[in-house]
Structure 1
Amino acid sequence: MSEIAENAENTTEKSKRPAKELVYDYVRRRILNGELQGGDFIEEKVVSEAVGVSRTPVREALHRLQGDHYITLTPRRGAVVRQITAKELTEVYESRRLIEIHAMERICREKRTVPPVLRVLYNQMCETSESQDFVQRAEYDQAFHRAIVATTDNAVLVELYDSLQVRQQRVAIAAMRVQPARAGTIDQEHKQLIEALERFDEEAAVQIISQHLRPVLDVVSRLPV
């Protein structure tokens, strides 16, 4: 496909999507990739001009972004990007441990089939260790751990886990930016986790995930309280 044809296709695809979704994705991506950081203000006028839409879908998108914990809307001050704090990072990991340890126990005790997608996502994450695309890595990581939780066939548990998605991704990206050298260690833990689940070794799986989801002091110490 030529560059002109590809651009035309992208433009057509963009035109099919509601304006508020375009704004949501635009702001969300800028927050995740670090262009907008905790404490930064988001101006409606700047966003509407950048995306090429009116102020109304911008306001609608900002309300959704607030509901998803990306920003805070304050009277007279407008939209402010939420800061990832050491406390939030610790609480996210604690919540994930509760859910994921339960999932490991169910998989091993009931000898549930480990989804093949885990190895696909593991390989994709290893590739991001080289490229240092932390946004894409966080998306693969979230999908990896969600696939494990989904193996329990507990829809309520998966829904609860999904409610952590935004915080989980932002925490993962923040942690990788602070300490990118940990990528290799994390990749190794993912590999060990797959192997433990495939042989239904509950003790090993729980031990690995408990270690995997412990906040690293060096990361926590560099985040605001």
Structure 2
Amino acid sequence: MTKDKKAAPILIRDSIRQSILTGEYHDGDPLRQDELATKFGTSRIPVREALRQLESEGLIVLQPNKGAVVKGISIDEVIELLDIRIALECRALELSIPNMALEDFEQARSILEEYDASEDPASWGEMNWLFHCALYAPCNKVRLLSMIEDNYGHVSRFTRSQVSMASGKKMPQKEHFELLRLCEAAEVDKAVQLLRKHIEQAMKSLLANNRKKLN
């Protein structure tokens, strides 16, 4: 098998994964092999392999006689993923703070200022993610950062707008600026404690928003 043929399933997988995580594909949407093969200009073989990999990641379900469909995610699964987020991100922040430089603080502050100026709730989730990424990057742990990104991608499928709409922007932003201040002051324990509280509040907002939908 040539190098290009080996790379094809990976490229197809990554493209479909991105489409799922960004909401281009919705829960229950079919992923037809023939259509995907035409879209990517390949045979069905690399498409089939890409779909197998996406199934192992929990993003799709391969159903007998029906093919692949985008897998939904339940509120209970999201809460568990947010628990995992606490563990991963608190550790990353703990490792990051001693390595932070002036440039890191400036980047994080610039993101928060843009966040403050935005009136579009649909963009808040992305800016929230960029801010947290800026805080964790100095930890210099490639696998840990990759796990954080993968976990966040799964969570964001469910919470992309719900948490923002439920909790608004004022309180999360207040906590973001305080978190940045603690990082600048090298207050590691206090920063980690605030980050835990910050994510736990997102969980509470999500659950409250879900209760409203059920009533």
TM-score above 0.5: yes
Task: Provide TM-score, normalisation by structure 2.
Answer: 0.72
Query: Could you tell me which residue of structure 2 aligns to residue 205 of structure 1?
Result: 191
Q: Which of 71, 77, 81 matches 1:88?
A: 77
Q: Percent identity?
A: 25
Per-residue CA deviations over 1:38-82 (Å, capped at 9, x if unaligned) read: 222211112112222221111121122223332222333322212
Q: Which of 172, 177, 193 matches 1:186?
A: 172
Query: Could you tell me which residue of structure 2 aligns to residue 143 of structure 1?
Result: 133
Query: Could you tell me which residue of structure 2 aligns to residue 5 of structure 1?
Result: none
Query: Could you tell me which residue of structure 2 aligns to residue 170 of structure 1?
Result: 154
Q: Which amino acid aligns with 2:8?
A: A
99-108 or 201-210: bigger deviation: 99-108
Q: Conserved in 2, the CA contact under 8 Å of 1:97 and 1:213?
A: yes
How many aligned positions are there? 201
Change (3 A) 1:117 1:145: closer
Change (3 A) 1:198 1:138: closer
The Cα of 1:120 is off from its aligned counterpart by 1.9
Q: Which amino acid aligns with 1:27?
A: I
Q: Which of 199, 208, 218 matches 2:208?
A: 218
Q: Answer yes or no: is 1:63 the counterpart of 2:49.
A: no
Partner of 1:166, secondary structure, is helix
Per-residue CA deviations over 1:142-199 (Å, capped at 9, x if unaligned) read: 6335426x26xxx5xx635633532312313431322434355434433221211221
Q: Conserved in 2, the CA contact under 8 Å of 1:122 and 1:190?
A: no
Query: For structure 1, which runs of at least 5 residues remain unmatched after alignment?
Result: 1-14
Q: Answer yes or no: is 1:33 the counterpart of 2:33.
A: no
Q: Conserved in 2, the CA contact under 8 Å of 1:97 and 1:210?
A: yes
Once residues 204 and 196 of structure 1 are traced to their aligned partners in structure 2, the CA distance between those partners, rounded to angstroms, is 7
Once residues 118 and 75 of structure 1 are traced to their aligned partners in structure 2, the CA distance between those partners, rounded to angstroms, is 51
Q: Which amino acid aligns with 2:146?
A: D
Aligned ranges 1:35-50 → 2 under 5 Å: 35-50=24-39
Once residues 220 and 22 of structure 1 are traced to their aligned partners in structure 2, the CA distance between those partners, rounded to angstroms, is 35
Q: Conserved in 2, the CA contact under 8 Å of 1:196 and 1:205?
A: yes
Partner of 1:163, secondary structure, is helix
Higher helix share: 2
Change (3 A) 1:94 1:223: farther
Query: Could you tell me which residue of structure 2 aligns to residue 20 of structure 1?
Result: 9
Q: Answer yes or no: is 1:79 the counterpart of 2:47.
A: no
Query: Could you tell me which residue of structure 2 aligns to residue 10 of structure 1?
Result: none
Q: Conserved in 2, the CA contact under 8 Å of 1:105 and 1:202?
A: yes
Aligned ranges 1:93-104 → 2 under 5 Å: 93-104=82-93
